[in-house]
Chains A and B, each alone.
Chain A
Amino acid sequence: KLNAVGRANEEKRNLSLGGHVGFDSLPDQLVSKSVTQGFCFNILCVGETGIGKSTLMNTLFNTMFENEEASHYQNGVYLRPRTYDLQESNVHLKLTIVDTVGFGDQINKEDSYKPIVDYIDTQFENYLQEELKIKRSLFNYHDTRIHICLYFIAPTGHSLKSLDLVTMKKLDSKVSIIPIIAKADTVSKSELHKFKIKIMSELVSNGVQIYQFPTDDEAVSEINASMNAHLPFAVVGSVEEVKVGNKTVRARQYPWGVVQVENESHCDFVKLREMLIRVNMEDLREQTHARHYELYRRCKLEEMGFKDTDPDSQPFSLQETYEAKRKEFLGDLQRKEEEMRQMFVNKVKETEAELKEKERELHEKFEQLKRMHQEEKRKVEEKRRDLEEEMNAFNRKKMAVETLSLSQPLKKDKDKKK
């Protein structure tokens, strides 16, 4: 019986239904809408070259995604996203696999994590831009945000590598990380147990947050809880098929035995597939949107100067903030223009002054040289006059001597004749 009294109180009331209304079909409506829309899932694979990322993807999705072998001699790390359309029964999946090419190959790996972080942030940024648009079409938007990061750990048997620790620490606030031990067929059972414990303890002691399979939903809490205890998953990938008994299974054939990919006592591949694809794929998408993306959005908007409440604790309107920002920005631009103009004017003045100075110097030099020249000329003139005087004196002397010599011999003759 419906209680039809319309009391305006704040408490929720549980009403009991008198018959079958039919809104229990809501989940089905949602499901059928999602199925027609199609799903989208983005995986980021981080691991050193040759560790088995492509092979594992091929094994997980039972397809041969085209892939060339990467070289070890890349100058830096770059990300290579590839999108595929898969279909299973009537469900369409737009799968994007992002590979980290060149990771772990450089001698100096201090900047290796940067391209990865930048890529993740760019996907968030693109989504944010779409969300902030006035005319937006989110239902149509191809969501490229990374839903899961599979971090491939090399099977050394000892512990994490220093690069692994540094990278995971940079990524754990931006993406859900599932660490996996790659090429696990080189680690024996007892070594594996110790290795897993060591890895988890290193992650915990360094505060690295990895993805925990959710245990709040009773339908899957039990299986998720037990899987959480098996992290990190030790996986083996293979696309080759080997005949074992009377079955053909995906496996790796060694001289000493056959490692079957889907045999749970050989490796944790089945567990990974269960967790990643069959049970928690939707939860991963939710986590990315509700947690990682929201964190990014909040940080970004705070950076830009947006706040939820202004100093008077009144909610800000986005529009007003936009206007204020715009004015600020234009004001900034104008100021910068002024500055540049000032700088230009100053520079011109400086150069003018320099040129004037140079001109003056040249003029001075000219004057100096002119003076020197005059001085020289005067000296030469003096010398010439001296020389002339000497010549004149010499000529006079000469004439004197000549006249003397002319008169002298007559005297002598006169004397002689007497």
Chain B
Amino acid sequence: MDAIMLQEKLVERLLCPRVRTARQKEKQYVGFATLPNQVHRKSVKKGFDFTLMVAGESGMGKSTLVNSLFLTDLYKDRKLLNAEERINQTVEIIKHTVDIEEKGVKLKLTIVDTPGFGDAVNNNECWKPITDYIDQQFEQYFRDESGLNRKNIQDNRVHCCLYFIPPFGHGLRPVDVEFMKALHEKVNIIPLIAKADCLTPNEIKKLKDRVREEIDKFGIKVYQFPECDSDEDEEFKQLDKELKECTPFAVIGSNTVVEARGQRVRGRLYPWGIVEVENQSHCDFVKLRNMLIRSHMHDLKDVTCDVHYENYRAQCIQEMTSKLAQDNRMESPIPILPLSTPDVDTEKLIKMKDEELKRMQEMLNKMQQQMHDKDQ
């Protein structure tokens, strides 16, 4: 169910001229039904952009998966650190930007890499550089959006974060939970089970159930697929349901092409068999690709703009106004009398003096009384 193909079919139907027959009393064709086509044309001309972040420990297959998804080789000649160098490693943020084109549609794809995440011995707050980076992009966009010249705003906001969960454990680990909780309100998180070729189908199911349970338990808000419209056909709805029940996707990636069943496919060659990356019974790679690129790429961008960015913007503005109000109170001119709140010591002194005065007054009264009595 290619969304673009669907759209094209719809446009075709709308564009054919209606035949005016005597029987059918139809309205005269106005023509705004061509709007989708116009949108399509303009967007192709403008081109698209998408920023994808990949996060997870070293050796989870992130780079391999990105290469498999976009069928390119983004990571030529990269240098991996030794275990010794990683003992105290800090997390870096590395961006790779490529321009790719398919059937006339241009995509500026940015992959944000996070090498060093979870690799050091002490990983306290290792996600901080990542949250700072995301906030920086939001801030940059906020400033650009509020500026005077808004013609060429560059959207560097992160639209989606693929988080790689190791398949070797029994579920989520503390570092996974903390990372996702720190980021779930700033970016769309899609958790993936990495290197799924070390799990049998039963083990995959168990692990997926466990991970989904723990995500609910810890209150992590991962990216939810939007509900499909009620007027879509049953087949589409069924596929959509299957997709949702399949999360988190168990993926396998490969940089090599092997010969399997007479075809050349991306896969991994083992002595006991060949794992095909695009075989749906081997892993969920195809589901991930379809979801991420073919159907929901734009929705990811929308959620980033409408939800995460708006949250950030509202929070930012609130902070700014409350700070301004505080500053205003300090520097106001004379009409507003400064409420000098007396500090604790002077208050005490005043109280003491008050009491003394009271006591003296009482004594005086007593003495007067005494004298009065004496006189009488």
Spell out A's residues near B (CB within 8 Å).
Answer: 48-52, 69-73, 105-110, 112, 154-166, 182-183, 185-186, 188-189, 202, 205-206, 252-260, 265-266, 376, 380, 383-384, 387, 391
* Interchain CA distance A165-B87 in the complex, whole Å: 9
Asked whether A154 lies within 8 Å of B275 as measured between CB atoms, the reply is: no
Chain A residue contacts of B363, Cβ below 8 A: 376
Asked whether B273 lies within 8 Å of A162 as measured between CB atoms, the reply is: no
Query: What's the count of A-B pairs with C-beta under 8 Å?
Result: 142
* Interchain CA distance A330-B58 in the complex, whole Å: 56
Asked whether B173 lies within 8 Å of A254 as measured between CB atoms, the reply is: no
List 23 contacting pairs A-B, 8 Å CB cutoff, sorted by A.
A48-B169, A50-B170, A52-B168, A72-B172, A72-B173, A110-B121, A155-B168, A155-B198, A156-B59, A157-B59, A162-B86, A162-B119, A165-B83, A182-B168, A186-B197, A186-B198, A188-B269, A254-B201, A255-B282, A256-B276, A258-B273, A259-B270, A376-B363
Asked whether A50 lies within 8 Å of B168 as measured between CB atoms, the reply is: yes
* Interchain CA distance A256-B367 in the complex, whole Å: 110
Additional 15 contacts, C-beta under 8 A, given A253-B200, A256-B272: A69-B170, A106-B174, A156-B60, A158-B59, A158-B80, A159-B83, A162-B120, A182-B168, A185-B198, A185-B270, A186-B197, A202-B83, A254-B197, A255-B281, A383-B367
Asked whether A257 lies within 8 Å of B272 as measured between CB atoms, the reply is: yes
Bitwise interface map of B from 263 to 288 toward A, beta carbon under 8 Å scored 1, else 0? 00000111111111001011000000
Cβ of B171 < 8 Å from any Cβ of A? yes
Q: Decide: A109 near B122, CB < 8 A? Known: A164-B83, A259-B272.
A: yes
Bitwise interface map of B from 68 to 93 toward A, beta carbon under 8 Å scored 1, else 0? 00000000000010111011010000
How far in angstroms is the closest Cβ of chain B from A191? 9
Asked whether B119 lies within 8 Å of A159 as measured between CB atoms, the reply is: no
* Interchain CA distance A324-B290 in the complex, whole Å: 80
Which secondary structure characterizes the binding site on chain B? Answer: loop
Asked whether B122 lies within 8 Å of A108 as measured between CB atoms, the reply is: yes
Q: Which residue of B58, B198, B282, B371 has the most chain A CB atoms within 10 A of its CB atom?
A: B198
Chain B residue contacts of A391, Cβ below 8 A: 375
* Interchain CA distance A205-B167 in the complex, whole Å: 30
Cβ-closest chain B residue relative to A256: B273
Asked whether B58 lies within 8 Å of A166 as measured between CB atoms, the reply is: no
Chain A residue contacts of B200, Cβ below 8 A: 252-254
Asked whether B272 lies within 8 Å of A260 as measured between CB atoms, the reply is: yes
Asked whether A161 lies within 8 Å of B271 as measured between CB atoms, the reply is: no
Cβ of B137 < 8 Å from any Cβ of A? no
Cβ of B123 < 8 Å from any Cβ of A? yes
Closest 10 CB pairs of A and B: A156-B59, A257-B273, A186-B198, A50-B169, A257-B272, A160-B83, A256-B273, A162-B87, A162-B86, A165-B83
Cβ of B159 < 8 Å from any Cβ of A? no
How far in angstroms is the closest Cβ of chain A from B363? 7
Q: Decide: A109 near B121, CB < 8 A? Known: A164-B83, A255-B281.
A: yes
Which residues in chain B, 83-107, are within 8 Å of chain A measured between CB atoms? Answer: 83-84, 86-87, 89
Cβ-closest chain A residue relative to B272: A257
How far in angstroms is the closest Cβ of chain A from B97? 25
Cβ of B195 < 8 Å from any Cβ of A? yes
Cβ of B326 < 8 Å from any Cβ of A? no
Asked whether A48 lies within 8 Å of B168 as measured between CB atoms, the reply is: yes
* Interchain CA distance A257-B375 in the complex, whole Å: 123
